[in-house]
Amino acid sequence: MADLSTVPCSRDDTLRCVEALAPGVDAVLTGDRPGARVQFPPSFQVSLVQSAGVPAWAGMNCRDRNRVALEGELAALAAVGVGGVHCVTGDHPAVGHRVDAQPVFDLDSTELAALARSAGLLVSVSETPLGPPTSARPSRLVEKAHAGAQVCFVNHAGGAEPVERFVSEVSAVLGSDMSFIACVPLLLDRESAELLAGFPGLALPPLYAEGVLGSRDPRRAGIDAAIRLATELLEIPGVRGIDISSSPLAGRELPTATSIAEVGRALGAVG
């Protein structure tokens, strides 16, 4: 799977990026763009992605819509045949580009997961193993699973070992009722590395960024590093897939999608 980063509210750019991703991924996560900028509604994003022949996994946040609007979006997603729904609480508008917007937060991610499951949809949530308080993270995920979540995206946790510890602890409680998708950071330049590093609670493996940014060809080094890390993560029991993520600056969305597809093709060739 791959995060979809496109020019906001651009149908043509969305389709170009999806077409670039298509040869290397099984599905696209429409996600919630950093910066809380104005963007297409999830159901319309999904319809665009799937019109290009790629299954879509819709990101839904509780920041911008009350429960009535969220129910409407979930109904629309079911109608267009979405692959899955990723439920997040969402960042406060104060940290984005629209500080004038009023936050909603009528629901949180756990309540949204229950609502999506009741709508008959495949439901995912995310957890950040290194986000404080770290000791509460496994129990938070167990609560989300009891609410209806079936898949967990494990955010960047500093390498394969911390991801394996987290997955093992949760699996000891939930067994096979929870599947895990491990997030893989794709660093292509210093700017994308700095943007990714700005997300709270996320950590890269030791010397990961240094190895990429210190290379003569950061793009090539970043792709190779992502392939190695993804291979390690896919060997963890309970991890059923990976999500390749990057944070391109404006204007670099399409080259980033092409690089993500290259990582996906390499992993597909391996196994």
* Residue 50 belongs to domain with CATH number: 3.20.20.220
The identity of residue 92, as a single letter, is H
Q: Is the pTM of this model over 0.85?
A: yes
Identify whether the C-beta of residue 200 lies closer than 8 Å to the C-beta of residue 155.
Answer: no
Q: Output the six-digit token pair for 256.
A: 């980033």
* Cα torsion angle, 89, 196, 23, 253, sign: positive
pLDDT band at 91 (very low <50, low <70, confident <90, very high): confident
Lowest average pLDDT, out of 199-208, 227-236, 249-258, goes to 199-208
Q: How far apart are CA 31 and CA 64, in angstroms?
A: 14
Q: Which domain holds residue 217?
A: 2-270
CA distances to 64, 143, 162, 262 from 149, rounded to whole Å, are: 21, 9, 22, 30
Per DSSP, 83 falls in state: S
pLDDT of 34 > 70? The answer is: no
Lowest average pLDDT, out of 21-25, 88-92, 110-114, 256-260, goes to 88-92
What's the confidence (pLDDT) of residue 270? 65
Q: How far apart are CA 28 and CA 244, in angstroms?
A: 10
- Across the chain, what does the average pLDDT equal? 92
pLDDT band at 38 (very low <50, low <70, confident <90, very high): confident
What's the confidence (pLDDT) of residue 95? 73
Q: What confidence tens digit (pLDDT) does each residue in 151-203 have?
A: 999 999 999 999 999 999 999 999 888 999 999 999 998 887 877 776 777 89
* Cα torsion angle, 240, 264, 159, 187, sign: negative
Total domain count, the chain: 1
What's the confidence (pLDDT) of residue 32? 67
Q: What confidence tens digit (pLDDT) does each residue in 106-148 have?
A: 999 999 999 999 999 999 999 999 988 899 999 999 999 999 9
Instruction: Round to the nearest angstrom and report the end-to-end CA distance of the chain.
Output: 15
In the predicted model, what is the mean pLDDT of residues 56-67? Answer: 94
Please report which helix (H) or strand (E) contains residue 110, including its range: helix 109-118
What's the confidence (pLDDT) of residue 39? 86
What's the confidence (pLDDT) of residue 247? 84
Q: Parallel, antiparallel, or unpaired for β 56-61 and 28-29?
A: parallel
What's the confidence (pLDDT) of residue 115? 98
What's the confidence (pLDDT) of residue 250? 81
CA distances to 14, 44, 84, 233 from 74, rounded to whole Å, are: 21, 12, 10, 31
Lowest average pLDDT, out of 1-5, 98-102, 214-218, goes to 98-102
pLDDT of 87 > 90? The answer is: yes
pLDDT band at 47 (very low <50, low <70, confident <90, very high): very high
